[in-house]
Chains A and B, each alone.
Chain A
Amino acid sequence: MKRSLSAEWLKLRHSRIGLVLAALPAVSVLIGCANFALNRDVLTNGWYSLWTQVSLFYGEFFLPILIAIVCAYLCRLEHLNGNWNLVLSAPVPVAGIFLAKWITAALLILIAQALFMALYGAAGLLLGLPGPFPAETAGWALRGWCAGLTVGALQLGLSLRIRSFAVPVGFALAAVLAGLGLYVAKLGLFFPHSLLTIGMRVLSQEPPDPRQETLFWTMNAVYALLFAAWSVSGLKVRDAGTA
């Protein structure tokens, strides 16, 4: 497992995935800030109002796309040049190969979350928002990261089955829209992509009741386990289409 993880990190050298990790949070914060600046007369709750704007674009749209791109990229490395042959004939358990990719994706998403928080803080200061930086937003970003792990397991399962880079990313885009609809219909806790919205408190900053909070973590854990098992099974039956 440690060996697979170390190999995964080495594969990221010279790659341009860092650009995506930097660009998507930056674009989200820029759009959110512009929206905030243009509507300051109605957005009067300081840091929290800014959060509603930046996290709306990021948590609702750019983060799931970023997760999809990261997962598609990690699998694309293996789809090219028959590298699955190399990876799957290595003396490491198949589950370890998936876990290494999942952990790598998790760390990359965590970097994006950290950058997003740093940009949010910097934007708040630049906009001259009153009061201290709201520490609980860091917790919201972490909750969003946890929901991101669930979405990441799903996206990895798709990306390792589908050679195309664009199809899993397109799927994420469709799932984002579906997730928004289900959130509005109060069914968000049962859809993986809506868990991102709920985790990051994008549409509601009110603290959830304990029952909802329990359900949030339970659904995350259940989906994460299901998608991880589905992904591992995808690696085990890769021979279905081989020549």
Chain B
Amino acid sequence: MVVETRNLTKKNRVRELDLVVREGEIYGFLGPNGAGKTTTLKMLLGLVKPSAGTIRIFGESLGKRRSAILRQIGALIESPSYYGHLTGLENLRVVQRLRGVPDRNVEEALRIVRLEKHRDKKAEAYSLGMKQRLGIAMALVAFPRLLILDEPTNGLDPAGMEEIRELIRTLPGRYGMTVLLSSHLLGEIEQIATSVGIINEGRMVFQGSLDSLRARSRGEIRIATGDNDAAQSLLLEHGYRPVAAGGRLVFGPLADREVAAINRLLVSRDIPVIRIEERRRSLEDMFLDLTGRERSLQCGS
């Protein structure tokens, strides 16, 4: 296990969070703005002290082995950190010196984020996208085992977003990194992540693979009949719980044999069955149900 938290809590922000990130995966940490993502990531880096709970990274306690653990982590938290009066190259050299890694790492990090041509330009003159790429290069410069990226595509245009996503996708395969990525964009997590954790109001409301989340999107059965009122009364008498909506009788998830039984029952009472359809909930609906529809989770990219 690369990251494992137990009952991780920060007063008023994060509640009893059990986060599990496995080696080599891209873990998408998804939640609306203000859900507690950044606070959680800051706790993993020792930047915020937990009120309760434990953090184990690479199998060791963060409290006891802070420096040894941090040596293997690269991070971009909140917004890209940079020294505006220094050039891109000098910014990377600051991190290189702080981490005591070889010169060649700086060149390689610049190459990966495609900033070689702008290496001698002052960071304050960089565009937002370039600053974001510089921030990622600074996180990459030690080629860490665990890369923590907090909303890395924030403020980028669609092309810039895709470029960063493509870069992140390649990191586990090319450099053996595990990536923990936070986002409020469902589309982004869907495109990049192999595992997902959904946080809402400081609580983990789902954790697992994207496939297992999709499997939870159970369909609902909708039946249109020639006389919906009569059909509803009949079905209620037989213990079903249909809800009339939009000219249909809507059921929760039903087994195939139950659908067949309902059909038989309606036909036996001469109620014409016009249409039986299954409507699966989209991933967006799942997220909105988990995080509360009134919150600001954005399902687009």
Q: B79 → chain A, closest Cβ, in Å?
A: 6
In Å, the complex CA distance between A38 and B86 comes to: 46
Chain A interface size, under 10 / 10 to 19 / 20 to 34 / 35 or more: 20 to 34
Interface segment out of the listed A74-82, A152-160, A184-192 = A74-82
The verdict on B122 contacting chain A, using a C-beta distance below 8 Å, is: yes
Per the 8 Å Cβ criterion, residues 76-93 of A in contact with B are 77, 80-93
In Å, the complex CA distance between A92 and B97 comes to: 11
| Chain A residues within 8 Å of B38, by CB | 243
| Chain A residues within 8 Å of B78, by CB | 82, 85, 243
Cβ of B85 and Cβ of A15 under 8 Å apart?
yes
In Å, the complex CA distance between A6 and B95 comes to: 10
| Chain B residues within 8 Å of A82, by CB | 77-79, 81
Interface segment out of the listed B66-74, B164-172, B211-219, B280-288 = B66-74
Cβ of A89 and Cβ of B48 under 8 Å apart?
no
Cβ of B80 and Cβ of A89 under 8 Å apart?
no
Q: B77 → chain A, closest Cβ, in Å?
A: 5
Q: B122 → chain A, closest Cβ, in Å?
A: 7
In Å, the complex CA distance between A3 and B83 comes to: 17
| Chain A residues within 8 Å of B68, by CB | 91
In Å, the complex CA distance between A77 and B84 comes to: 9
| Chain A residues within 8 Å of B138, by CB | 86
The verdict on A167 contacting chain B, using a C-beta distance below 8 Å, is: no
Give which listed residue, A6, A15, A88, A243, contacts B97 with CB less than 8 A.
A6
Q: Which residues on A are within 8 Å of B, measured CB to CB?
A: 3-4, 6-7, 10-11, 13-15, 77, 80-93, 237-239, 242-243
Q: Which residues on B are within 8 Å of A, measured CB to CB?
A: 38-39, 42, 45-49, 66-71, 73, 75, 77-86, 90, 93-95, 97-100, 122, 138
